[in-house]
Amino acid sequence: MMPHSIVSEQVIPLLQALIQNACINTGDDDSGEETRSIETIQSFLREYNIDSRFYYSRPDRANLVARIRGTDPMAPSLGYMGHVDVVPADADDWSRDPFGGELVDGEVWGRGSVDMLGMVSCFTSAFASLADPDRQPPGDVLLIIVSDEEAGGTFGARHLVEHHWDEIKCDYMITEVGGLQIVTDDGPAITLTVGEKGVCWARLRFRGIPGHGSMPYRSDNAARTASDALVRIANASTPRVMTPLIRSMAHAFFQGPLEHVLSRFPGCFDLALSRLYRRDPGKARFLDTASRMTISPGVLRGGSKVNIVPDRAELELDIRILPGQTVEHTQAVLLDALGPLSENVEIEFFEFFPANISERDTALWHATERICDELLPDTHIVPMYMGGVTDGRYWRQRGTTVYGFAANSPLLSMDQFSRRIHGIDERIDLRSLELNTEYLMRLPFELRST
Ligand SMILES: [Zn+2]
């Protein structure tokens, strides 16, 4: 069957069903109830006589793994990995029902169409096409569909990786957040995410001396200390780390001779970045976070009553780290930024995951390039390093080459993607579904070890 009929007969109906299942992950343990969508995928696979297995840590939050055996035991294995939970959507803000899955003017509308039920539908249909005995791939292909990505993957990817690694390990993996079309000085390009920054969340506690709010003379106010700390940290600058990967990204994002020249001199990079920000704030934010440790104050908490001088205050920081940056390093950066305030602070790191990057010169990269040369002629691939995290990190951390990629059409630009993901009127065009399905159908056969 040709990809366009696969899209109309399989991908679209599956995508609509997944949107209508509305597996909304609020972050509460009993939200999501992804087992509904996991069962939808299981019945889809059954029609092609493909068996799948469920893995749970909670019955209402299943994960699915299916495998098609390759013909050559030496050939590398490939995983298609996606999540079926979505973030909430407020119907009042949308032009159409966020959980209707309507097909209007060549687009499927609904929460999750971009993040990432569209991709999951393409994964599943392309995977099912391998059940045809005439289309047996050289290496094993795995379909891994998980729950709970939107809250960090505790019941989904993390559970699978920690408890069932042997059943889900693979050499190469395709997952979300990539395939965004951008315009560069070298012509049209599409992004491929090769890595993610690490997470190092910190809680800073400050103590003061309680007293009556009517007599604040020389009081030791913990809320004031925390506010001073926030300003110091927000003003501190962390150094840029310009690796070849970040240079490639910068080369694709900057435009015009002036920006390119400025960006090459370490002292002038930020000048080029602020020019980029005026033209395209989204790209500037991507590039900034990719090139340095970022510290974003997220919560400031202090005081209990208006007429009491606060004796306790807390500051929570969302810190995203680069490869090689550790908790100890982050602590040193914070103490340095705090200056004199560092003497009375207690720092607790309450979440840590290291930065992770996959190589670029791999069989998966070259196979993707060969297929895209045909599907998206004149469009070159730009490697991206991301500030946010996906479930891909759990595999990358264990040595799998993981790329965030989809062969989307030019209609899914980086700008459109950023607006729609977790935003209003999320929708995906049929051409993207078609191109991506074709890419995924061909990939297992293009993938050769280098
Ligand atoms: Zn996602």
Look at residue 187 and tell me if it is in a domain.
no
| Domain that includes residue 15, residue range | 3-176+388-446
Low-confidence ranges of the chain (pLDDT < 50): none
CA of 149 to the centre of ligand 1 (A): 7
pLDDT value of residue 218: 94
- 321 Cβ neighbours under 8 A, 6+ residues apart: 197, 198, 199, 200, 293, 329, 330, 354, 355
CA of 23 to the centre of ligand 1 (A): 13
CA of 370 to the centre of ligand 1 (A): 26
Distance of CA 180 to the CA centre of its chain: 13
CA of 180 to the centre of ligand 1 (A): 14
CA of 159 to the centre of ligand 1 (A): 17
Strand-pairing partners, residue 191, are: 382
Q: Which residues of 340-353 are buried (b: 16+ CB within 10 A; e: fewer)?
A: ebbeebebebeeeb
Strand-pairing partners, residue 172, are: 78, 401
CA of 114 to the centre of ligand 1 (A): 8
Q: Specify whether 172 is located in the same domain as 211.
A: no
Q: Could you give phi then psi for residue 254, rounded to 5 degrees?
A: -75, 150
CA of 239 to the centre of ligand 1 (A): 29
Contact predicate 86/27, CB 8 Å: no
Q: Convert the pLDDT of each residue in 301-360 to its tens digit.
A: 999 999 999 999 999 999 999 999 999 999 999 999 999 999 989 999 999 999 999 999
CA of 390 to the centre of ligand 1 (A): 7
Tell the residue number behind the tokens 């900034």, with chain if given. Answer: 288
Among 326, 353, 380, the domain-final residue is 353
CA of 304 to the centre of ligand 1 (A): 38
CA of 260 to the centre of ligand 1 (A): 32
Q: Specify whether 18 is located in the same domain as 121.
A: yes
Residues 32-36: contacts with CB within 8 Å, 24+ apart?
32/60, 32/61, 32/85, 32/147, 32/148, 32/151, 32/155, 33/60, 33/61, 34/60, 34/61, 34/62, 34/84, 34/85, 34/147, 34/148, 34/156, 35/59, 35/60, 35/61, 35/62, 35/147
Q: Specify whether 112 is located in the same domain as 221.
A: no
CA of 422 to the centre of ligand 1 (A): 9
CA of 389 to the centre of ligand 1 (A): 9
CA of 25 to the centre of ligand 1 (A): 11
pLDDT value of residue 413: 84
CA of 374 to the centre of ligand 1 (A): 27
Tell the residue number behind the tokens 């290496």, with chain if given. Answer: 139
CA of 258 to the centre of ligand 1 (A): 36
Q: Which two tokens stand for residue 317?
A: 């920081």
Look at residue 181 and tell me if it is in a domain.
no
Q: Specify whether 169 is located in the same domain as 257.
A: no
CA of 335 to the centre of ligand 1 (A): 34
CA of 341 to the centre of ligand 1 (A): 39
CA of 215 to the centre of ligand 1 (A): 52
Nearest to 392 by CA among 201, 141, 180, 197: 197
CA of 371 to the centre of ligand 1 (A): 24
pLDDT value of residue 1: 54
Q: Which two tokens stand for residue 236?
A: 């501190």
Q: Specify whether 202 is located in the same domain as 349.
A: yes
Largest CA-CA distance found in the chain, in angstroms, rounded: 84
On the 0-12 / 13-18 / 19+ scale of CB atoms within 10 A, 411 is: middle
CA of 71 to the centre of ligand 1 (A): 32
Look at residue 373 and tell me if it is in a domain.
no
Which CATH number do you get for residue 294? 3.30.70.360
Domain count, the chain: 2
Q: Specify whether 107 is located in the same domain as 57.
A: yes
CA of 116 to the centre of ligand 1 (A): 5
CA of 221 to the centre of ligand 1 (A): 42
Which CATH number do you get for residue 55? 3.40.630.10
Q: Specify whether 166 is located in the same domain as 27.
A: yes
d(CA 443, CA 143) in angstroms, rounded, equals: 14
Q: Specify whether 141 is located in the same domain as 35.
A: yes
Look at residue 380 and tell me if it is in a domain.
no
Rounded (5°) CA angle 323-142-370: 70
Contact predicate 386/254, CB 8 Å: no
d(CA 51, CA 45) in angstroms, rounded, equals: 7
Nearest to 404 by CA among 415, 393, 412: 393
The pairing of strands 356-357 and 187-196 is: antiparallel
Q: Specify whether 333 is located in the same domain as 428.
A: no
CA of 255 to the centre of ligand 1 (A): 29
Give the environment of ion ligand 1: residues with CB less than 5 A: 115-116, 176
Look at residue 67 and tell me if it is in a domain.
yes
Q: Specify whether 221 is located in the same domain as 345.
A: yes
* 3-state secondary structure (DSSP) of residue 263: helix
Q: Specify whether 108 is located in the same domain as 72.
A: yes
CA of 402 to the centre of ligand 1 (A): 15
CA of 77 to the centre of ligand 1 (A): 23
Contact predicate 124/14, CB 8 Å: yes
CA of 83 to the centre of ligand 1 (A): 7
Rounded (5°) CA angle 396-401-407: 110
pLDDT value of residue 409: 93
Q: Specify whether 153 is located in the same domain as 217.
A: no
CA of 157 to the centre of ligand 1 (A): 12
Q: Convert the pLDDT of each residue in 218-237 to its tens digit.
A: 999 999 999 999 999 999 99
